[in-house]
């Protein structure tokens, strides 16, 4: 009798326990999901980044407009970049990689094109947000409406038919590719972590044309950036168009860094290729010099090496940057036109490299 009682209550107790622990497990999962769930607003205007007419992109006070020494090419798009810091929060200087942004920072990048009437027409606005709950960066895209009054949250990407003028005023028709949110992640993920690509100290370390003071120094003066060392100690990514101050080699390597190395780096999306195009990469094999491709397949165009010094026409790197064919074109995403000026730089650079045996 007593034994039955003991076993009975034991069973009851254990059921109670399992229910309890079940609950415990459930709770745990729901709380973590909720914490990771940062909510993006529906419209760009909802954030209140800009004063007056939205298309003017006139930043509200405290919002930093910034530029890069050498930018990524995106179909001759006109880009405006902003950093929105939470009130009173500061960016911490880091020597390598993206600057250390405070929680809740929003990085805003607007993409527009110049139409045949020389008007600036808005296409899309990309947001990177550092979620305060889990310290992870999150991506979202906003697609501008036809009326150009606002941009709406848009995750699936889009093809926008446009007729644009390039930097020389030459006319092109193309289907501009707005990336979907996974496309965003592909370029922004390094070692499994989503990070900003552009705002590294070395990419920001210059005087924006027309300004007297260095961009980083201005931020430090406005107490938006802390820990900035003497400028002479801050690395600088060369300005790819500045032929006066930088050599062909420096400019080409800067261009490859900003256009390719977000994927072509250890831990990046193209880690598997062994082709690493960071500005600081010194290993000639990883830089592609007489390097056979790994998995380029037909994308290599039947050529043998990534780069043949002195021979751009036989170099896969040049071939793929000069193509707009899916499966061949590099970068793979967000480019439907060839960047003539950039490709010319890379061609000249490859042709300038000393021929080896």
The distance of closest approach from Cβ of residue 31 to another protein in the complex, given in angstroms and rounded to an integer, is 14
Residues lying near another protein in the complex (CB under 8 A): 6, 10, 13-14, 17-18, 21-22, 24-26, 29, 33, 155-156, 159, 175, 177, 180-183, 185-186, 189, 192, 194, 266, 269, 271-272, 274, 285-286, 290-304, 325-327, 329, 332-334, 336
Beta carbon nearer to another protein, 36 or 221: 36
Do the Cβ atoms of 50 and 60 come closer than 8 Å? yes
Q: Between β-strands 91-92 and 225-226, what pairing exists: parallel, antiparallel or unpaired?
A: parallel
CB 285 → another protein: shortest distance, Å? 5
Closer of 228 and 308 to another protein (Cβ): 308
Asked if 220 and 234 touch (Cβ cutoff 8 Å), the reply is no
Distance in Å, CB of 20 to another protein, minimum: 8
In the complex with another protein, which residue's Cβ is closer, 90 or 286? 286
Per-residue DSSP letter, 45: G
Find the shortest distance in angstroms from Cβ 87 to another protein.
30
What is the closest distance, in whole angstroms, from the C-beta atom of residue 190 to another protein in the complex? 11
Longest Cα pair distance anywhere in the chain, in angstroms? 98
Nearer to another protein, 60 or 325 (CB): 325
- Please give the torsion angle defined by the CA atoms of residues 113, 117, 119 and 123, in that order, rounded to the nearest 10 degrees: -30
Tokens encoding 235: 């690395």
Q: Which long-range contacts (CB under 8 A, 24 or more apart) does 257-262 make?
A: 257/70, 258/68, 258/70, 258/71, 258/72, 258/198, 258/203, 259/72, 259/73, 259/331, 259/342, 260/330, 260/331, 262/187, 262/188, 262/190, 262/197
CB of 262 closer than 8 Å to CB of 196: no
Q: Least Å distance between CB 136 and another protein?
A: 10
Nearer to another protein, 45 or 180 (CB): 180
Closer of 194 and 248 to another protein (Cβ)? 194
């Amino acid at each position: 009798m007593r034994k039955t009682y003991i076993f009975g209550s034991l069973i009851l107790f254990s059921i109670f326990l399992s229910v309890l622990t079940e609950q415990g497990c459930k709770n745990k999962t729901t709380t973590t999901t909720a914490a990771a769930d940062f909510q993006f607003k529906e419209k760009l205007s909802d954030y209140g980044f800009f004063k007056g007419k939205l298309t003017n992109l006139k930043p509200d006070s405290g919002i930093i407009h910034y530029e890069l020494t050498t930018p990524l090419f995106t179909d001759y798009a006109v880009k405006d970049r902003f950093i929105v810091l939470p009130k009173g929060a500061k960016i911490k200087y880091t020597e390598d990689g993206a600057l250390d942004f405070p929680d809740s920072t929003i990085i805003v990048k607007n993409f527009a094109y110049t139409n045949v009437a020389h008007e600036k027409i808005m296409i899309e606005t990309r947001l990177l947000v550092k979620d305060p709950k889990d310290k992870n960066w999150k991506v979202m895209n906003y697609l501008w409406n036809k009326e150009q009054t606002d941009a709406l949250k848009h995750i699936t990407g889009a093809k926008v038919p446009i007729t644009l003028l390039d930097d020389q005023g030459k006319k092109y028709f193309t289907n501009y590719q707005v990336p979907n949110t996974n496309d965003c992640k592909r370029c922004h993920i390094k070692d499994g972590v989503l990070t900003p690509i552009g705002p590294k100290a070395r990419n920001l370390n210059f005087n924006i044309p027309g300004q007297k003071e260095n961009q980083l120094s201005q931020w430090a003066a406005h107490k938006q950036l802390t820990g900035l060392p003497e400028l002479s100690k801050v690395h600088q990514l060369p300005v790819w168009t500045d032929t006066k101050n930088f050599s062909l080699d420096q400019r080409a390597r800067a261009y490859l860094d900003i256009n390719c190395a977000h994927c072509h780096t250890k831990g990046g999306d193209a880690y598997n290729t062994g082709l690493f195009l960071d500005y600081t990469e010194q290993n000639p094999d990883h830089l592609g010099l007489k390097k056979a491709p790994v998995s380029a397949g037909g994308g290599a165009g039947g050529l043998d090496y990534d780069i043949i010094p002195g021979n751009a026409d036989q170099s896969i790197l040049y071939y793929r940057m000069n193509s707009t064919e899916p499966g061949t074109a590099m970068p793979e995403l967000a480019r439907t036109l060839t960047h003539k000026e950039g490709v010319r730089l890379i061609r000249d650079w490859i042709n300038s490299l000393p021929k080896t045996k």
